[in-house]
Amino acid sequence: MLVFILSCTGSEPAETVADADMPSLRPDLPNVVLVSMDTLRADRLSAAGYHRDTTPFLDERAAAGMMFRRAYSQAPSTLITHTSMFTSLLPQVHQVRGHNRKLEESRLTLAEHLAAQGYATYMSFSSLRFMPEIGINQGFETVNPFWDRPKNKRGVNVTDAFHAYAAEASERPVFAFLHYFEVHAPYNPPEPYLTRYHAPRPDLLDPRHSIEYLDANRLTPIPVETLNYLEALYDGGVAYLDAELRRLHAGTAIANGRPTIWIFTADHGEEFKEQGYLGHSTWMHEELLRVPLVVTGPGIVTGQTDAIAQSVDLFPTLLDLLQLPHPEGLQGRSLASPLTGSGAPLDQPWPGVSDVVPFYENTKNWAVAGTIDGQRFKLVQQEGRELALHRVDVDPGRDVMTKHQPQAAALHAIAEQIKISRKKLRESGARDANIDELDMLRSMGYLDEIEAAESHE
Ligand SMILES: [Zn+2]
């Protein structure tokens, strides 16, 4: 049977470690709330220039803190990116993807590190991908899962449970990870969001079955009016999420009285045929990899930045903001400089190529992006296709390999150095997760909707 650490009501007080056991707990340590907005692409925020009023709350948060205009997920997939977020390890190193991989217990997670520094750690999630069998909940003392609820109930549950937890918090600082699934397909938010941007069109598709529509049309052309309808439904989900996050933020009163750093980001985006694909996973398109990143809290300056940010950066960034020690082996770089306005340049470890971001789904689908002579390029390997080079900021859909071979060679050399394209790394000791529980849940009929919704993560 599945054994979760805590039942789903969220009303129980957190398991706590005696504060006396904690190392010199600093009274100035703030709380940290990391909010993951599954499948929310960066350009859907009104603050990013979107033409619809999708995100009034996130816009307010962006105005109250720092918004990264060029933030990237490490992969177009839920589990891969979150594992990179939690470990500050690149996907080809942590090796966690799909149902059949498990994070090695020897890996250090952000939650484990913060717990060791005295933090109370809390996780609540809305997707099967975070089941304890996968192992990425290492370090979370309290885990509130809501993935088995109807999709439009999960976010409400995540919010309510965290409000209850926060109200009971001890004097220890809190690190909370809250995962929301409202934007993910099926695109079927409740009213008024369902019809907020488009009148119902049952002749085109049934929103309840939009996931099946995505599955059937991943790479095939679809009518423009259906595409417009899908985007309007997706945007309705974005607006629904935004309203839920406003409720989360407004109702959060962490009883320890400490100030709180809030981080709003996503694990990947969603594509609506901009480059021929529908939905997410596998492909290395900008629509799938660019995500929102908004940070507010004590010491965070306000504004927007073009500094490149990526999922692996969150771990070292938070440690710098909290003035806590860095463990060995983190692969991200700290973004504390743009967040605090210190003006210090960010590390540029690759001579001639700056702002390197590696993306990875598997050895057949990976990419490396980097800025060379002021131009941003992305070297892309997709299964069944030739290696291609794209100008990210100009025409991300066009292959410019023949015109820019030195740039391609430079990025390929980086891919080799970080061992993206070496198959032997695939067998570095990652183990299969126990999937008996999945079979059990499937037999109980739980998984139909969930697996349909997540089959392309
Ligand atoms: Zn996801």
The predicted structure's pLDDT at residue 21: 54
In angstroms, the CA 312 to CA 309 distance is: 8
The dihedral sign for the CA sequence 399, 369, 268, 69 = negative
Domain membership flag for residue 350: no
Ligand 1 mean position, distance from CA 382 (Å):
20
CA atoms within 13 A on the CB side of 195: 6
Ligand 1 mean position, distance from CA 420 (Å):
22
Ligand 1 mean position, distance from CA 401 (Å):
31
Ligand 1 mean position, distance from CA 232 (Å):
19
Q: Print the domain residue range for 313.
A: 30-343+433-454
Ligand 1 mean position, distance from CA 11 (Å):
27
Ligand 1 mean position, distance from CA 393 (Å):
24
The predicted structure's pLDDT at residue 420: 74
The predicted structure's pLDDT at residue 22: 56
The predicted structure's pLDDT at residue 154: 96
Ligand 1 mean position, distance from CA 78 (Å):
4
In angstroms, the CA 416 to CA 412 distance is: 6
The predicted structure's pLDDT at residue 100: 62
The rounded average pLDDT for each run of 10 residues, N- to C-terminus, in the chain (457 residues) is: 34 43 78 98 97 98 98 96 97 82 93 97 93 89 94 96 97 97 97 98 97 96 98 98 98 97 98 96 95 98 97 98 96 96 88 94 93 96 94 91 95 88 41 39 40 45
Ligand 1 mean position, distance from CA 366 (Å):
17
Please name the residues in contact with 222: beta carbons below 8 A apart, sequence gap of 6 or more: 273, 278
Ligand 1 mean position, distance from CA 185 (Å):
10
Ligand 1 mean position, distance from CA 99 (Å):
14
**Domain CATH for 110:** 3.40.720.10
Count Cβ atoms below 10 Å from residue 218 Cβ, excluding itself.
17
**Does residue 246 contact residue 182 with C-beta atoms inside 8 Å?**
no
432's tokens: 């299969």
| Bridge partners (DSSP) listed for residue 180 | 37
Q: What is the CA radius of gyration of the chain?
A: 21
Ligand 1 mean position, distance from CA 359 (Å):
15
Ligand 1 mean position, distance from CA 172 (Å):
31
Domain membership flag for residue 368: no
Please name the residues in contact with 224: beta carbons below 8 A apart, sequence gap of 6 or more: none
**Does residue 146 contact residue 158 with C-beta atoms inside 8 Å?**
yes
Domain membership flag for residue 116: yes
CA atoms within 13 A on the CB side of 178: 30
Ligand 1 mean position, distance from CA 406 (Å):
35
Count of structural domains within the chain: 1
Backbone dihedral angles phi then psi of residue 426, each to the nearest 5 degrees: -60, -30
Ligand 1 mean position, distance from CA 266 (Å):
8
Domain membership flag for residue 395: no
Domain membership flag for residue 83: yes
Nearest to 47 by CA among 64, 35, 63, 36: 63
The predicted structure's pLDDT at residue 439: 44
The predicted structure's pLDDT at residue 17: 45
109's tokens: 């997670």
Ligand 1 mean position, distance from CA 181 (Å):
8
Nearest to 15 by CA among 133, 167, 101, 121: 121
Domain membership flag for residue 157: yes
Nearest to 325 by CA among 18, 26, 17, 67: 26
Ligand 1 mean position, distance from CA 344 (Å):
33
Domain membership flag for residue 285: yes
| Bridge partners (DSSP) listed for residue 68 | 305
Ligand 1 mean position, distance from CA 86 (Å):
15
Ligand 1 mean position, distance from CA 126 (Å):
10
